Structure 1
Amino acid sequence: MSTVAAPRKVNPLLAAYLANLAAHPLRTKAITSGVLQFFQEVLATHLAGVPARRVPKDAPFYEHALARVKIESKAPKMTLYGMLVSAPMSHALVGITQKLFVGKTGLAAKVGQLLVSNLIVAPIQIAVYLSCTAVINGARTVDDVRKTVKAGYMNALRVTWMTLPLTIVIAQRYLAPELWVPFINLVQFVTGTYFNTKMKKIRMAMDAKKTKKDQED
């Protein structure tokens, strides 16, 4: 008597997300990136110990509520960054990388694709990310942006080099294909929160140093 394996059941929400990703890849990625960047910004603000914004006592209730949970103007700005910068850039770079290796499935192709992702795609993404977050977090001059990028670039690149290959290996070996995208998004959310937290701490240290210097002068 032969038996037929039951088809794998997929969560309806996950199935709907994957269907939208297939039908409208850029739009779905933009919305996903925007939402994740919003929560990433709020979480990083808490983790970095950024003081809550002071609001007037007679301000509306919602302003006090937003200040208490540290949702400031930077959160929607990071949402716009995710939707208008990060997602389109990632979509284009990954698309170019895939076209370079289309139809190639051997070990050399896999290694080559990993090298391109780590040595070309990741450095570009990190430089753009750190530059944008520097501006969003208060950098107002090119020199401020350059200093912020320089302070966090190699650390961010090292973390990416450690996590990206491991993430791909875990996804391919232990997860069903329909779970790869959510898993990679989760890893990117965690590493992005870490980067953003570090940048906020660096920015606060730079501001404190500048304030101290101004007071001494």
Structure 2
Amino acid sequence: MNPLRRLFLAAPFALAAFAGQAQAQELSLSEISSYLNQLQTAQGDFTQINSDGTISTGTIYIKRPGRIRFEYDAPEKSLVIAGGGSVAIFDARSTDNPQRYPLSETPLSIILQDNVDLTRASMVTGHSSDGTSTTVTAQDPAHPEYGNIQLKFTNPTQLRQWVITDNTGTQTTMVLGDMTIGGGISDRMFNIIAETDNWN
């Protein structure tokens, strides 16, 4: 499977060690849900660790609800956009751009939905703390076959990493750098039709 597609259909969360931090209290599901719902726009660097061990870097843009953009650094020349209920994958190695999938069928849709509520029955399958970070594993309660997303947060609440796992067990890890929270991000950055015209 294309490693870019795995970003949405299968990916594990990995967090860099925070050995120097003081012990932190486990974040509650309500606290994490509130944090995600208040996270309207954000941008920053990312490092993606693919299931085959290869590493990609780039810039991520988030505009909730329902929109996210991954711009991959050269020489990869790839782009992933979620907007309008779809995920579009642009790959320089493909002659069929973009590949499109319903956002609702990807684990990433869990944190991009309008109202994130991790307290819903059967949504969270794992919730733990190692003293420096809180890890939450979530799935769509109605469609667990779509896979899950494992999120890692530091305290004060900040999303640092996620891992998406698909129904085959394939995982992809996204480690987030320091994010700029808030500020304006143009809707056009998530317009799949406009990006298709540019790509061609």
What TM-score does the superposition give when structure 2 sets the normalisation length? 0.29
Which protein is richer in strand relative to its size?
2
Instruction: Point out which structure has higher relative CO (alpha carbons under 8 A, 6+ apart).
Output: 2
Q: If you compute each CA radius of gyration, which structure gives the higher value, 1 or 2?
A: 1
